[in-house]
Amino acid sequence: MNNIVKISPYLWEIPQSGAMQVPGRIYASEQLMNQIQKDESLKQVANVAHLPGIINYSLAMPDIHWGYGFPIGGVAATDAHSGVISPGGVGYDINCGVRLLRTNLSADFIRPKIKNLVTTLFNAIPSGVGSHGAIRKLSRKDIRNVILKGAGWAIENGFGHSDTLNFIEDNGCLKNADPDMISERAYQRGMPQLGTLGSGNHFVEISKISDIYDETVAARLGLIKGNVVVFIHTGSRGLGYQVCDDFIKVTLQATKKYGINVPDRQLACAPLDSQEGKDYLGAMRCAANFAFANRQVISSLIESVMMKSLTMNPNDMGLQLIWDIAHNIAKIENHIVGGKQRQVCVHRKGATRAFGPGSPDLPAEYHDIGQPVLIPGDMGTESYLCVGTPKAMLETFGSSCHGAGRVLSRTQARKKSMGRNLYGELAKAGIFVMAQGKSTMAEEMPDAYKNVTEVVNTMHEAGITKKVARFTPMGVIKG
């Protein structure tokens, strides 16, 4: 990757060469680019540029790091009629995403109660590998309804209120989900796991609103400096993993069948208009809907726990959804390409939608401010809320970063954590954490990630998103 060209202070380009269909473009500061060049993710950006039907650029956000096929933090749009769909461009945790809820509670009120509150949440929301049991084990018929209705199923079954659907991407349900494309193994894995957090970087976090950068937008969202918000970060659990695993095998065969040449077998793909491509999209939408329902159930569990722990009624607590955003997703969307509207399939792998003001996909309440973009840190680092911009619609197919991005592998992080008391370090910083085990704490320690502020500032300075608020963690539960 010695031929990278610096386009502007926050944008770099890998020139088109060989069988690349388009150039690669990376949003990064000088400091972040120095970190990015230490792994193979830039090579993956170039590899993605070989996909048939890819449009404009193979894109990478500043949180980019090495992933399966696509880099995590990668975005690629392919023509919806002549392009391809790649499971590696979505990832194993389909619709891993983030939900942000505001409250009427001040951080000063919550801080003396944080240990008890986090402990109660930890006991109520199952976490860790294979976690289950948040609600009754669902039947196969129940799961079929979940993957058809998404967050709406959860609300129909008493987990939350219908007015929240307006503030979930795609109203919490992707259309044209095909439950017949879900394998029996995927059904079985999903049946006990609705309402569970999972492992790895998934979390529930209670945070303080520490800074407001845009008073007008913050006021519209009900954010008050010094108050408390709640983040939820999780996805489609074992069901989504199984869907990806099943269809990687299908698309490996499809790549051969349709004579598609890609430089990495992990970029296995199928034409969007092929049966294999349609089948994957139908199954992926099912997994995405499971994830929307999962976050909705967890939100309801959190509200119940907080009301009981704080002896409060819903009105006083004021827990309200600001936005629920998907990353690890592929969507058929309309975008302006070359001055004309064009239907494309946008792969967002470890990237989030960042639609600007005026988008018809936004609720009326956000139509003039742009879509909220949620960028969480991890345990010991701050998180941010931004909004999408018109420039994002022109340059990145309305996409932005989804987090800080790893700089250490999980193995490297475990080695670096040896001999350290991570719980104690976080406690000194005023953060109470509960996790299922020491390995999770080690793998997800703050040192394992890039500087999330540098990542967010990069997108802000590049004009892709606009900063609205910064949050600092008070209490966290981890898988």
pLDDT of residue 1: 58
| C-alpha span between 433 and 427 (Å, rounded) | 8
Confidence band, pLDDT 50/70/90 cuts, at residue 197:
very high
How crowded is residue 250: how many other Cβ atoms within 10 Å of its Cβ? 19
- H-run or E-run covering 249: helix 237-257
pLDDT of residue 308: 95
Torsional sign, CA 331, 159, 378, 438: negative
Q: Is the pLDDT of residue 323 over 70?
A: yes
- The two structure tokens encoding residue 411: 């193995």
How crowded is residue 31: how many other Cβ atoms within 10 Å of its Cβ? 13
Across 216-220, average pLDDT: 97
Least confident interval from 79-88, 101-110, 322-331, 429-438: 429-438
Q: Each residue of 347-391: pLDDT tens digit?
A: 999 999 999 999 999 999 999 999 999 999 877 899 999 999 999
Nearest to 346 by CA among 91, 82, 77: 77
| C-alpha span between 5 and 9 (Å, rounded) | 11
| C-alpha span between 32 and 309 (Å, rounded) | 42
Q: Each residue of 166-195: pLDDT tens digit?
A: 999 999 999 999 999 999 999 999 999 999
C-alpha separations of 477 from 70, 114, 222, 443 in Å = 29, 12, 25, 14
C-alpha separations of 316 from 95, 106, 108, 299 in Å = 32, 12, 16, 17
Mean of the per-residue pLDDT values of the chain: 95
- H-run or E-run covering 442: helix 438-443
- The two structure tokens encoding residue 474: 């008070």
Helix, strand, coil % in the chain, rounded to nearest 5: 40, 25, 35
| C-alpha span between 396 and 394 (Å, rounded) | 6
Q: Each residue of 404-443: pLDDT tens digit?
A: 888 888 888 888 888 888 889 889 989 999 998 778 888 8
Q: Each residue of 222-271: pLDDT tens digit?
A: 999 999 999 999 999 999 999 999 999 999 999 999 999 999 999 999 99
H-state helical runs in 25-113: 30-36, 41-48, 107-110
Q: Each residue of 51-91: pLDDT tens digit?
A: 999 999 999 999 999 999 999 999 999 999 999 999 999 99
pLDDT of residue 2: 67
| Domains of the chain in sequence order | 5-85+93-478 (3.90.1860.10)
pLDDT of residue 410: 83
Please identify every residue annotated as catalytic.
402
Q: Is the pLDDT of residue 311 over 90?
A: yes
| C-alpha span between 331 and 169 (Å, rounded) | 12
- The two structure tokens encoding residue 52: 């048939």
Q: Each residue of 126-163: pLDDT tens digit?
A: 876 666 777 777 999 999 999 999 999 999 999 999 99
Nearest to 344 by CA among 335, 354, 353, 355: 335
H-state helical runs in 131-225: 140-149, 151-156, 184-190, 215-221
